[in-house]
Structure 1
């Protein structure tokens, strides 16, 4: 399940790409499949191990082009163990909302990005997230949970302060907003309606039927769960 548009980010063979807060690697996999040399960074050793297992399986299946490289790195977004201006592209998907000092994290993204390089930052969108917070404290008030709700304009300002140009905005995952509203409404319990909606999401991800793809495309500008900021570091 991808939150950002890889064509818009211009990810291609040979691109040096950093996937920040990669989790179990969902954004790493598509970049690697396209032939990008990917560094996947996260604080979780377990998640990085899962990412490496799946990229290894991709290697065995011959999915990435020959010579494509990937490397897991344990690190903190607020102080990246990486050189200045070392990446063509940087992805930070659904991670800044977990970080109290988000300004330091954005400054680090700008630091490691090459001049002229592109970045994509995704966070939960204000309205769907606000509804989740109103329905359930458990949704966000837990260890490692969400510490803030962003307005896209506020995040864009934070990026400008770090020296990044905001070049465009996208929205994604409207059907997931409904899932989380249901889950929050029922106290994060796994009720029959929540399970049913989850099955719908899995079916949609696997099968990609035209009807749900069109519905989500129409709903994304209204209730998309995630907002995507596309950014550029001036040359």
Structure 2
């Protein structure tokens, strides 16, 4: 499940909650996991409207040329476009590029370029972009080092990179309960141990500026989802990019409701931070191409 893409989509939907002040929203009997996850993500450093940071340490301005590979529904691209940036976005699915292009026409982006591409190679000149985004992409590709090398090629000297892949703790636990196709092509064909991920980034010639992890909520959600699927005999073996799909069980809905009530309490913040470190869903690296 491309958790970040789901949250980006929720961020830009008309039904998204007001994430800037989550405490003001009272808990209800039903909490959509995407709404809960969005509030959780903001508390973890994503979508910082006040500072124009897509993630802490990764600010976007109108002067930037942003490349978002594997853009999916395009939430990251839209966040950058709404700051007036020149946005370039790629995906292997043409319908997603077409749909996102239509959405971007309604933003203040100073330029919009969408292309169907697997990033090998990217149809872009050397030293093209100032911001590079690859969120939950590298675990899907046959040769992550080759893809990362191509991203470095099109990045200008001094460009910032925002890279995220699933954390190995949550991935290894899911191995015991996930549907088999979750860990086969075209889904998660790599599990990146934390230091191996850092070495991959440094091996591409980048300098790591920040490392973070988050998403205890989503790790637990996924474990409950898979367990319920197995218990009910609903696992399927189809080859698809969307391996986690509704309807969701009462079990995961109860978990979303509980977690939302917890994170609405400021006193829970240090507990959330510790749990995010203990069993995160995603590991994130902010890195820079040397000038």
Q: CA RMSD in A?
A: 2.6
Query: Residues 28, 114 of structure 1: CA spacing in aligned structure 2 closer, same or farther, 3 A cutoff?
Result: same
Query: Residues 200, 144 of structure 1: CA spacing in aligned structure 2 closer, same or farther, 3 A cutoff?
Result: farther
Report Cα offsets for 1:53-76 as digits up to 9, x if no partner.
3323x43xxxx3xx6222211111
Residue equivalent to 1:210? 264
Residue equivalent to 2:189? 147
How much does 1:132 deviate? 1.1
How much does 1:26 deviate? 1.5
Report Cα offsets for 1:174-218 as digits up to 9, x if no partner.
2111111111222365432134446778xx6xx9x7338836444
Structure 2 contact 168–192 (Cα < 8 Å) conserved: yes
Structure 2 contact 219–279 (Cα < 8 Å) conserved: yes
Residue equivalent to 2:283? 227
How much does 1:79 deviate? 1.4
Q: How many residues align?
A: 224
How much does 1:159 deviate? 1.6
How much does 1:138 deviate? 3.0
Gaps of 5+ in 2: 1-6, 9-40, 47-52, 235-247
Q: Provide TM-score, normalisation by structure 1.
A: 0.84
Gaps of 5+ in 1: none
CA distance in 1, matches of 2:202, 2:251: 42
Comparing 125-134 with 3-12, greater Cα deviation is found at 3-12
Residue 136 (str. 1) matches residue 185 (str. 2): no
Comparing 138-147 with 36-45, greater Cα deviation is found at 138-147
Structure 1 contact 173–216 (Cα < 8 Å) conserved: no
Instruction: Give the secondary structure class of the aligned counterpart of 1:140.
Output: helix
How much does 1:105 deviate? 0.5
Residue equivalent to 1:9? 58
Residue equivalent to 1:34? 83
Instruction: Give the secondary structure class of the aligned counterpart of 2:265.
Output: helix
Q: Provide TM-score, normalisation by structure 2.
A: 0.69
Instruction: Give the secondary structure class of the aligned counterpart of 1:17.
Output: strand
Structure 1 contact 31–38 (Cα < 8 Å) conserved: yes
Residue equivalent to 1:182? 224
Structure 2 contact 101–114 (Cα < 8 Å) conserved: yes
Structure 2 contact 57–210 (Cα < 8 Å) conserved: no
Residue 44 (str. 1) matches residue 86 (str. 2): no
Structure 1 contact 177–224 (Cα < 8 Å) conserved: yes
CA distance in 2, matches of 1:43, 1:78: 11
Residue equivalent to 1:159? 201
Residue 73 (str. 1) matches residue 115 (str. 2): yes
